[in-house]
């Protein structure tokens, strides 16, 4: 493959997991980090709007003609090395977000293995490779679609682990200064499903390094459902290969592993982030739940301490606001997954407008029922909620 390929007649619907999106001005497939920087640098200099694309699994893209050139990041080399004794441990990478459950500095894996991966590598291929070699660290993040380079963009997380906990360094192309440099996680402003890279033109991720446990121990298992399945106490570590298998099983049951034959996975994953309300707002939310559903439900409403207040469960609120699995109907082109109310899915013929209309309906319905504002997790291109 040439380093840079111009793909004829591209459609974003063919490049996104929601299978929506119109025609960009051009699509450039870049097989090396150098091709990415050359393409983005030249387009920036010419003032041409750029969409940096990985696996297209966190995008809501408008239909029609799009005034954007897509730069697809496809460099995918992988290498392993031993960490130098002086290199920062994962504890220093952890932003300490309330749900990050990060490895504390005291728990840092001493020494350790560093894996370096090209930004265009498929994320789950990297997880499988590390686990296959007996290294711990990435196993709870098994099955998340998309590319390695996008993982720091929204600080991907699942089953009690965020990428911030295992991130070592990022090589990025700074689009403001035109420099290609390695930066530490602190430069990324990582927090719950966001970073300085999300919804910004700040930089393009070219390569990422993660710190792994060579002793074959997983990250501590903090997610109760996963701990229960594994038969370990929350906080204990387990065999990474077993954790990976179990996570994939749990995710498949929720339609959260891409599958061409399963329309419940034709989505952008969780469509809304879990909303964080101020502590003094919580009683009002609970009383609205009581009014609508009774005191028992209000008492059972999931609510966890989080940075900035209390984190609620978007899926719980959506369901209790009256949007059940499969909403609105089995014949709708865009509907909630039949396995998971938090995923908006395209059943094959949905347009961007169909998906956006459903997103608005759910967001407005939750606001009306409980006074809680839901915020979409994906990045929007040429459209907005």
Ligand X SMILES: Cc1cc2nc3c(=O)[nH]c(=O)nc-3n(C[C@H](O)[C@H](O)[C@H](O)COP(=O)(O)OP(=O)(O)OC[C@H]3O[C@@H](n4cnc5c(N)ncnc54)[C@H](O)[C@@H]3O)c2cc1C
User: By CB under 6 A, is residue 144 in contact with ligand X?
Assistant: yes
Coil, helix or strand for 347? coil
Taking CB under 6 A as the criterion, the residue among 32, 142, 265, 274 binding ligand X is 265
Q: Which stretch binds ligand X (CB under 6 A): 22-30, 60-68, 156-164, 355-363?
A: 156-164
341: tokens are 């109310």
Q: How far is the CB of 87 from ligand X (least distance, A)?
A: 23
Tokens 């059972």, residue located: 300
Site track for ligand X across 81-120, x = CB under 6 A:
--------------------------------------x-
190 binds ligand X (CB under 6 A): no
For ligand X, the closer CB: 156 or 227: 156
Does 256 help bind ligand X (rule: CB under 6 A)? yes
Note the maximum CA span of the chain: 63
Least spacing, CB of residue 63 vs ligand X, in Å: 17
Cα(205)–Cα(228) distance, integer angstroms? 36
CB 206 → ligand X: shortest distance, Å? 7
Q: How many helices (H) and strands (E) does the chain have?
A: 9, 18
Residue 193 known to be catalytic:
yes
The distance of closest approach from Cβ of residue 316 to ligand X in the complex, given in angstroms and rounded to an integer, is 17
Q: Is 345 in the site for ligand X (CB under 6 A)?
A: no
Select from 164, 205, 238, 277 the one that contacts ligand X (CB under 6 A): 205
**Known catalytic residue at 270:** yes
* Residue with Cβ nearer ligand X (76 or 351): 76
d(CA 258, CA 265): 5
Catalytic site residue from 29, 162, 209, 377: 377
Of 152-160, 287-295, 323-331, 352-360, which segment contacts ligand X by CB under 6 A? 152-160
195 part of the interface to ligand X, by CB under 6 A: no
List 193, 217, 244, 251, catalytic entry = 193
Q: How many CA atoms are closer than 13 Å to the CA of 273, on its beta-carbon side? A: 20
Q: Find the binder of ligand X among 27, 117, 150, 167 (CB under 6 A).
A: 150
**89 phi/psi in degrees, rounded to 5:** -90, 170
User: Which candidate, 21, 89, 123, places its Cα nearest to that of 378?
Assistant: 21
**Which residue among 270, 320, 337, 363 is the active-site one?**
270
- How many whole angstroms separate alpha carbon 86 and alpha carbon 338? 49
Residues in the chain: 385
Q: Tell whether residue 268 is a contact of ligand X (CB under 6 A).
A: yes
CB of 199 to ligand X, least distance (A): 7
Structure tokens at 87: 């290199």
Q: 119 vs 310, which CB is nearer to ligand X? A: 119
Closest to ligand X by CB, 140 or 298: 140
Residue spans of beta strands (DSSP E) within the chain: 4-7, 23-30, 50-53, 59-61, 65-73, 78-82, 113-118, 157-158, 161-162, 167-174, 179-183, 203-212, 276-277, 303-306, 309-312, 334-336, 344-346, 379-381
Question: What stretches of the chain show up as alpha helix (H) in DSSP?
Answer: 33-45, 90-93, 123-132, 224-230, 240-253, 282-293, 295-300, 314-320, 352-370
β-pair partners for 122? 147
CA distance 191 to 95: 6
Nearer residue to ligand X within complex by CB, 27 or 289: 27
Q: Which two tokens stand for residue 115?
A: 């894996």
Query: Alpha-carbon distance 130 to 48, whole Å?
Result: 38
Applying CB under 6 A, among 12, 17, 62, 128 the residue interacting with ligand X is: 17
Q: Provide the minimum distance between the beta carbon of 147 and ligand X in the complex, in angstroms, as a whole number.
A: 3
How many residues touch ligand X under the rule CB under 6 A: the total is 34
The residues in 42-81 that bind ligand X, with binding defined as CB under 6 A, are: 51-59, 73
Assess 204 for contact with ligand X (CB under 6 A): yes
Active site residues: 193, 270, 377
- Which positions lie near ligand X, rule CB under 6 A? 17, 51-59, 73, 119, 144-147, 149-151, 153-154, 156-158, 197, 204-205, 256, 258, 265, 267-269, 379
């Amino acid at each position: 493959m040439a380093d840079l390929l111009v793909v004829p007649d591209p459609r974003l619907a063919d490049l996104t997991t929601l299978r929506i999106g119109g025609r960009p001005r051009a699509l450039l497939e870049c097989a090396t980090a150098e091709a990415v920087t050359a393409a983005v640098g030249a387009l920036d200099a010419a003032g041409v709007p750029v969409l940096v694309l990985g696996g297209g699994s966190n995008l809501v893209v408008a239909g029609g003609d799009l005034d954007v050139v897509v730069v697809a990041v496809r460099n995918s080399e992988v290498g392993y090395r031993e960490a130098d004794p002086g290199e920062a441990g994962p504890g220093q990478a952890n932003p300490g977000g309330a749900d990050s459950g990060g490895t504390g500095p005291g728990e840092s894996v001493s020494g350790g293995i560093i894996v370096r991966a090209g930004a265009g590598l498929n994320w789950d291929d990297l997880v499988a490779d590390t686990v296959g070699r007996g290294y711990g660290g990435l196993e709870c993040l098994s099955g998340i679609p998309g590319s390695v380079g996008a993982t720091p963009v929204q600080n991907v997380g699942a089953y009690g682990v965020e990428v911030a906990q295992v991130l070592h360094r990022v090589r990025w192309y700074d689009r403001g200064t035109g420099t290609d440099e390695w930066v530490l996680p602190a430069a990324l402003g990582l927090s719950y499903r966001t970073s300085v890279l999300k919804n910004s033109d700040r930089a393009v991720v070219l390569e990422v390094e993660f710190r792994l446990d060579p002793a074959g121990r997983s990250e501590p298992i903090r997610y109760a459902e996963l701990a229960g399945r594994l038969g370990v106490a929350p906080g204990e570590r387990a065999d990474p290969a077993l954790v990976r298998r179990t996570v994939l099983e749990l995710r498949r049951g929720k339609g959260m592993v891409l599958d061409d034959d399963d329309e419940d996975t034709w989505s952008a994953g969780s469509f809304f982030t879990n909303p964080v309300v101020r502590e003094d707002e919580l009683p009002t939310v609970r009383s609205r739940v009581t009014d609508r559903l009774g005191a028992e439900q209000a008492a059972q409403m999931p609510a966890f301490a989080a940075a900035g207040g209390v984190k609620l469960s978007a899926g719980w609120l959506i369901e209790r606001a009256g949007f059940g699995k499969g909403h609105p109907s089995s014949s709708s082109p865009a509907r909630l997954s039949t396995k998971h109310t938090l995923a908006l899915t395209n059943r094959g013929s949905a347009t961007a407008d169909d998906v956006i209309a459903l997103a608005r309906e759910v967001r407005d319905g939750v606001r009306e029922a409980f006074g809680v504002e839901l915020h979409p997790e994906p990045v929007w291109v040429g459209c907005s909620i």
